[in-house]
A and B are shown apart, each in its own frame.
Chain A
Amino acid sequence: MTALSLRAGGLSWRVRLRGVAITLFGLGLLALLMALNMRIGDIQMTVAEVIAATFDPNSAAHFVIMELRLPRALTGALVGAALALSGAIIQSIARNPLASPEILGVTTGASVTVVAGVVASGSVYGGTSGLLSTLGIPALALLGGLIGAAVVYGLAWRRGLDGYRLVLVGIGVAAVFTNVKFWLLTVGDVNDTGRAMVWISGSLNGRGWEHVAPTALALAVLVPLTLLGTRSLDALRFSDDTVTSLGVRTNLARALMILAAVLLAAVATASAGPIAFVALASPQIALRLARSGQPPLLCSAVIGGVLTTGADLIARTAFSPIELPVGIVTAVLGAPYLIHLIWRARK
């Protein structure tokens, strides 16, 4: 394996050239997909027209590009990256290629609180305020995601954290959240329910700069921190005993990395709803492409952006003029992939 060692002070990283190449290639692909997303829509544009519109505030297309398509495409790429990074961390810690923030209760927890908020602000149970139904959704999703993860983590904890137990407890807790969500959907008015349904399927429709900003901020803060944590992740691959003897404080390192993963997934979910399977599939694709022992973080994030942006392109165009939520596309594409992983895992 071609590798390069970087040293800065007391820290050192081994950089695998293959991983770097895949990451760069992924970034190129991401740029290409985003460019396509800029061009395609109700108003079709050439690349030249897109560029012209971007830099000419007086042109008619400026608004379409700068206020509609660009923030939507950026939200998709950033949310995909955040989900994938979250998945990569969780899979490394659970030592299970099938784990993801969906299993960890983040997305299901967020769905329940958002649906509860939409129903509460709707017409049936008295109605709280209109503000809650618009501005409040990301806040509710963030809160619900954190609570969901805390519940799963707390229930799965038993003198340590076992990967399998974590996954199974997650499935059980997710079942409760899902059923409560279903019940809330029957309580609400059918119009509120429709809005909630779009959100809980994971949608990039109508995403603006207010959705780009929090995800970008979370990534800017958490990516460097998680890269620093990679060293402990490398060690966490081994059994608890080995890790302890290597001198990594296992549970503390794990808890901090999981917290970062939960925050990334929760922020992403708050911005775009639960986009299924991106967090699960991206790290596994990255791992295979980069041929590394565990999911490479940056490479996973780039692939997450590519997957989400590509899926959104399909969601926008495949059934034109009807637009599907992107989460439906990722779920339909992602589930067969998960089943494939399970087939492979039986060996």
Chain B
Amino acid sequence: MSATVAAPRLQSIRHRRVTLLFVLLAAVAVAVVLSITIGSKSVPLGDAWTALTAPTGSENDIIIRSLRVPRTVLGVLAGVALGVAGALMQGHTRNPLADPGLLGVTQGAAFAMVASIILLGASSLLVYIWFGLAGALIASVAVFALGMVGGRGGPTPVTLALAGTAVSAMLYALTSAIVLLDEQAMDVFRFWQAGSIGARGSSVVWQVLPFILVGLVLATVNAPGLNALSLGEDVARSLGQNIAMTRTIGVASVTLLSGAAVAACGSLSFVGLIVPHLARPLSGTDHRWLLPYSGLIGAALLLLADVIGRVVAPPGELEVGVVLALIGAPFFVALVRRRKPVRL
């Protein structure tokens, strides 16, 4: 009896979720079009299409093909990666304030990358990425460990956020120590730490793509296990979940996604923080839907922030990392000021 009542409802929920997925895809598409056409030199939509399909070598074609397209693709990749990483981190730590930037993963990657430049003479992005991933891994394991000790006795959002701040501060100090000794490294580093998806070229895209794809596959595999874990470790265990395995896959996925995004674009705070909060009202708590929604919203948010940064401070640009902080921090403060603390 109940099954016959529930079936149509389930079907309508499913229907709504698929529709929303397409709405979000459309939003990303709009953001992509804006990102390709708007900038210090705006290109009409028709010309942009010509540049992509039948290039003639005109100035517009060169701008579109060598600057805007790689920038946009990188924005989509980094946005998807950070959005999914944020949702995974918040799910695993059950902390509504979790974010790769706030919890020290970004600075971990930064430190390892700068160390590789100065200490080992690394000079290609491919080498930086491996070091960035290693740094991100160490930092994320440290923060996850702090975030998950004990059950009820575990740290509150406050202590986790502070732990992230502390880890960040120490790594930042070590990074500055290295950078202060070498002016050339400083010149590279200061642009990296502001966070940007512009002027990175298409080779960056190809180099980070494999890491992000593997990270997304792991995230997909992780979603059902994370659903079980969100019922509590005891329930998950009684459902036959291998908790250690689920956690390991989660950490690996977060590391690959945020490490690759950060190595390619620099420090982009708040994407991982905001996006799951926007996605959750649409998806509910099911991570199989929350993760793709978060990825799409992340891509749209990052591209829009980048477009805003290109037009607000002519003739220069505001790095997308700065725009994200200016958008993200009020969001964070509003989240904190809510009467009832947000719970997951």
Contacts and interface: CB of A to CB of B under 8 A. Distances in A.
Interface of A: 96, 98, 103, 155-156, 158, 164-165, 167-169, 171-176, 178-180, 182-183, 185-187, 190, 193-194, 197-198, 201, 276-277, 322, 324-325, 327-328, 331-332, 334-336, 338-339, 342-343, 345-347
B157 interface: yes
B337 A155 contact: yes
Contact of B337 (A169, A182, A338): A169
B325 interface: yes
A155 B337 CA distance: 8
B239 interface: no
Chain B interface mostly: helix
Contact of A343 (B146, B179, B322): B146
B173 A176 contact: no
13 contacts: A168-B161, A175-B328, A178-B325, A179-B267, A179-B326, A277-B169, A335-B169, A339-B166, A342-B146, A343-B146, A346-B150, A346-B155, A346-B159
Contact of A336 (B170, B181, B190): B170
B194 interface: yes
A175 B325 contact: yes
**Ranked 7 nearest A-B pairs via Cβ:** A335-B170, A331-B173, A179-B325, A172-B332, A338-B166, A176-B329, A183-B322
Interface stretch (B35-43, B48-56, B246-254, B313-321): B313-321
Interface string B111-140: 000000000000000000000000000000
B77 interface: no
B67 interface: no
B99 to A, nearest CB: 9
A276 to B, nearest CB: 6
Contacts of A339: 146, 163, 166-167
Contacts, number: 153
Interface of B: 97, 101-102, 146, 149-150, 153-159, 161-163, 165-167, 169-170, 172-174, 176-177, 179-181, 183, 186-187, 190-191, 193-195, 267, 269-270, 316, 318-319, 321-322, 324-326, 328-329, 332-333, 336-337
Among B172, B176, B183, chain A packs the most CB atoms within 10 A around the CB of B176
A34 B160 CA distance: 37
A182 B190 contact: yes
A183 B155 contact: no
Among A164, A174, A336, chain B packs the most CB atoms within 10 A around the CB of A164
A158 B340 CA distance: 13
B337 A165 contact: yes
B338 to A, nearest CB: 10
Contacts of A338: 162-163, 166
Contacts of B180: 194, 197-198, 201, 324-325, 328
Contacts of B146: 339, 342-343
Contact of B183 (A98, A155, A167, A194): A194
